[in-house]
Structures are given as C-alpha cells and as structure tokens.
Amino acid sequence: MSKLKWQELTPGGVITEPGNSKSYRTGDWRSRRPIWNKDACSHCMLCPIHCPDSSIKVKDKKMTGIDYDHCKGCGICANICPKNAIEMHNESEYK
C-alpha cells in the first residue's frame, strides 16, 4: 500500500469553505442529543447566545426549539441553562 504525503490527501468531509456548513446536514455527526423541556424554559436567551452552531431556534425573543440538522451535540446549552430545561441524551436512542 502506497503512503500519501499529507499534502496529497483529499480534504476531509464536505466543509471545504468557511460558512458552507449551513448547506449540509452536519447534525448527522452528533452522538449526543439535547432535549428541550419547553415547560421549564424561561426564555432567558442564554443558550442561543452560547450555541457554537447557531442551532437554537428563536422567534419573537422566545426559544422555539433546536435545529437538529445542524446541532453537533456539544452540550453547552444544557450546561449553561439556569433552569435545567435542556437534557443531553444518547443520539442512539433516536435512530
């Protein structure tokens, strides 16, 4: 088997340009899934500010859900929520 130099490798995945991840369902990479309890949510807007993938849906200054097409399951939203309104589950429970 021939060994390639790193410079000869094909760029990994489909994210080859800055900002193009919106065009792909990168949420497929997720192994943990945040589950939102809307009854416990106070709509403090902490999680939309801290989500690194802009995957918290907001309308009229209220949280409306999670964009599972792009959420990577990092768990920041669950850790930062002051109301414990987001709980992380294994993604395998939903496939």
CA distance 15 to 7: 17
- Least distance (Å) between residue 90 CB and ligand SF4: 13
> Which residue of 5, 7, 43, 92 would you call a contact of ligand SF4, by CB under 6 A?
43
Is the Cβ of residue 63 or residue 94 nearer to ligand SF4 in the bound state? Answer: 63
Residue list 48-77, contact with ligand SF4 (CB under 6 A)? 51, 53, 55-56, 63, 66, 71-77
Give the C-alpha distances (Å, rounded to integers) separating 27 from 4, 30, 33, 39, 68.
Answer: 30, 6, 10, 25, 6
- Least distance (Å) between residue 48 CB and ligand SF4: 7
Q: Which parts of this chain interact with ligand SF4 (CB under 6 A)?
A: 34, 36, 41-47, 51, 53, 55-56, 63, 66, 71-77, 80-81, 83, 85-86
